[in-house]
A and B are shown apart, each in its own frame.
Chain A
Amino acid sequence: MAVQTQPSDAVQEHGKQHQEQLHVGVLALQGAFEEHANLLRSLGAKVTEVRLPGDFAGLDAIVLPGGESTAMALIGERWGVFPQLREWVATGRPVWGTCAGMILLSNEALMQKEGGQALVGGLDVEICRNYFGSQISSFEQPIDTTLLGLTKEECAGTDVEKPYPAVFIRAPAILSVAGEGVSILAKVRALPCSKARLALEASLNAPAASPERSAKRQRLEPYLTPSEELPEVIVAAKKDNILVTAFHPELTADKRWHAYFLKMVREAQTKT
């Protein structure tokens, strides 16, 4: 669990490829930001912890780590970090959210605290916080990552043929994708927990125009009706320069998701 990194070696190895060092900001209001920073450094990136608006200077990309999204939203609004993040995402700059970070990057979240919470937004998906239930239902599950199209060399020697050991902790899940251009990178099968089920039902009963409501019913029905096969939920997705994962790549020594993100950042740079 304790991730040991050798930044200096990694930088040297990285240097051989004659690439310019990427500068990644990790939102450090609360949560597992240190774990992200260690993994990014081990892949040759320069990392800055982002707590205040002034910390955005010179960044190529930003990571929103796992933690409690409600706490991050409340801390982030006070000193103006959230408005800056919204601008970052709106201008199409690279960003990755894991777990709580994924919630923050979604346009709509179910199961919010009473009175709702602030989101950064950017990804037009419908997300359910805590879909799988309380801590006792937190789980590890191997997931296929062939869709990432990574090679072993790109992932610091990780065997990418093997399934990735994804860690889900009180995790959210994406139930539906609204906008165009969202690519789905990973799915798992699971029923919503009882609290999530209630939230889904409540959202169906919320007042809305009837065509909208029937579309919503169609989307959410599979999660509420028992059938032979468990419903599928999306746990990793990408749209343009936004990457989201419901699980925690920062909790494993396997670097493939971090490598994928850095590759995405480089591609974004060559495009502009």
Chain B
Amino acid sequence: MAPGANGHANGHAEAAETGILTGTYRVKAGLAQMLKGGVIMDVINVEQARIAEEAGAVAVMALERIPADIRKDGGVARMSDPEMITEIKKAVSIPVMAKARIGHFVEAQILEAIEIDYIDESEVLTMADEDNHINKNKFKVPFVCGCRNLGEALRRVAEGAAMLRTKGEAGTGNVVEAVRHARQVQKELRMVAAMDEDELFVFAKHIQAPFELVKEVARTGKLPVVNFAAGGVATPADAALMMQLGMDGVFVGSGIFKSTDAVKRAKAIVQAVTHFNDAKILAEVSTSLGPAMVGISDIKSDPVNFRDREGASEGQIPKKRKLTGPTEIQLYGSSWEQH
């Protein structure tokens, strides 16, 4: 149990008498199920949090710098000031999430102590441990983690993540990576569901995921937890695209507050996620929103790469090559420094 996890249920009588359990996996994953079909918006202050709530967001992600600015400004990106998070928590009635660095379990302990509703162990912040992610099973507060494929999704679930999201490429306003990651996960889910039982052992080895979880996915045909889209969603059409690709909901980071009319765009994206299959409604809500965030079209040659940040991926990383054009693919790597 994480420090600070004691006494959170102090509104209740003794657990031994009443059978009350807090911080169970069902309760942690359950909140993510309640967020389905909804939009979670990045906000940097109380004013933006209120705009998000009024637009119909199901939760807000409280952070000091949105991904687009982290990309631009560089420097070490860390957990936000607890005071700023607490202010936002006071101002809204919907759940409040906050980000901790990959592997930085003390940032997570602090966020748990201020009773944040969900922690995003996020690749957008600078990695604190290049080998290990946070052991999320030790916490009562639930975690959401990014994934590019089924293997990464199940590695995070094994560590205790109660919710997943695509990594996409945050702060670009370009949905291409989120689409790649969503399609990859859905494709691998279909593959594993169609596999012979005998083939699951080697498949688990290939995707570097725990066998028991692979077996469960093969049985149910779906991920054990909710999976949202994230990393590049900028328009109602982007959001609906991700929903039609089988995602359970959408995170919008820089897309809303880097656009010209944040209020209108936020509302439109919320409507688009509910009515993702209704092209007429999508057309209506997409109308006259003003310019979207400018964004980055050539992600592959951009010097910042959030999506390939994962613990212990160094051994498998090929030496990076100098890219000659936007179509050339750089596979792995936690940064774009040339070797």
Chain A residues within CB distance 8 Å of chain B = 1-2, 4, 28-35, 51-52, 66-68, 70-71, 74-75, 78-79, 99-100, 111-115, 129-130, 132-142, 163, 167-170, 188-193, 195, 230, 248, 251
Q: Please determine whether B271 and A78 come into contact, CB atoms closer than 8 angstroms.
A: yes
Within 8 A of A (CB), among B216-234: 220, 222, 224-225
Chain B residues near A (Cβ < 8 Å): 5, 8-13, 18-31, 33-38, 50, 53-59, 89-95, 112, 115-118, 140-142, 220, 222, 224-225, 267, 270-271, 273-275, 278, 281
Contacts A71-B58, A114-B91, A137-B22; A100 near B34 (Cβ below 8 A): yes
A100 to B9, CA, bound (A): 21
Residues of A within 8 A of B37 (CB): 28-31, 33, 67
Chain B residues lying within 8 Å of A188, measured Cβ to Cβ, are 18
Q: List the 3 closest A-B pairs by CB distance, nearest first.
A: A74-B56, A135-B117, A191-B11
Evaluate whether A251 and B33 lie within 8 angstroms (CB atoms) in the complex, with A75-B274, A141-B18, A141-B21 already known: yes
Q: How far is the CA of A112 from the CA of B10 in the complex (A)?
A: 23
| CB closest residue in chain B, given A163 | B19
Which chain A positions have C-beta within 8 A of B90? 195
Question: Contact: A134 with B36, CB < 8 Å?
Answer: no
Cβ A32 vs Cβ B33 within 8 A: yes
Q: How far is the CA of A141 from the CA of B95 in the complex (A)?
A: 22
Set A2, A137, A142: member contacting B8, Cβ < 8 A:
A137
B52 smallest CB distance to A (angstroms):
10
Contact among B18, B21, B95, B271 for A135, CB-based, below 8 A: B95
CB-defined A-B contacts under 8 Å, sample of 26: A1-B25, A1-B29, A2-B222, A31-B35, A34-B36, A52-B275, A67-B37, A68-B34, A68-B59, A68-B95, A70-B94, A74-B267, A75-B56, A79-B281, A135-B27, A135-B31, A136-B8, A136-B115, A137-B11, A139-B12, A140-B27, A169-B30, A170-B31, A190-B12, A191-B12, A230-B11
Interface centre among A30, A113, A114, A133 (most CB of B within 10 A): A30
User: In the complex, are the beta carbons of B18 and A138 less than 8 A apart?
Assistant: no
Cβ distance B278 to chain A, nearest Cβ, rounded Å: 8
A75 close to B271 (CB less than 8 A): yes
Inter-subunit contact B274/A30 (CB<8 Å): yes
Q: Which residues of A contact B222 (CB under 8 A)?
A: 2
A170 surroundings in chain B (CB, below 8 A): 31, 34, 95, 117
What's the minimum C-beta distance from A161 to chain B, rounded to whole angstroms?
Answer: 16
Closest to A192 in B: B11
A-chain residues with CB within 8 Å of residue B13 when the two chains form the complex: 189-190, 230
Complex: A216 Cα to B92 Cα, angstroms: 26
Given contacts A31-B36, A74-B54, A141-B18, contact A134 B117 (CB under 8 A): yes
Across-interface contacts of B91 in A (CB, < 8 A): 114
The reply to whether A139 and B27 form a contact with Cβ atoms under 8 Å apart is yes
CA of A167 to CA of B142, assembled, Å = 15
Beyond A113-B53, A114-B91, A137-B22, whether A29 also contacts B274 by CB under 8 A is yes
Bound CA–CA A167/B30 (angstroms): 8
Q: Which of A31, A136, A141 contacts B112 (CB 8 A)?
A: A136
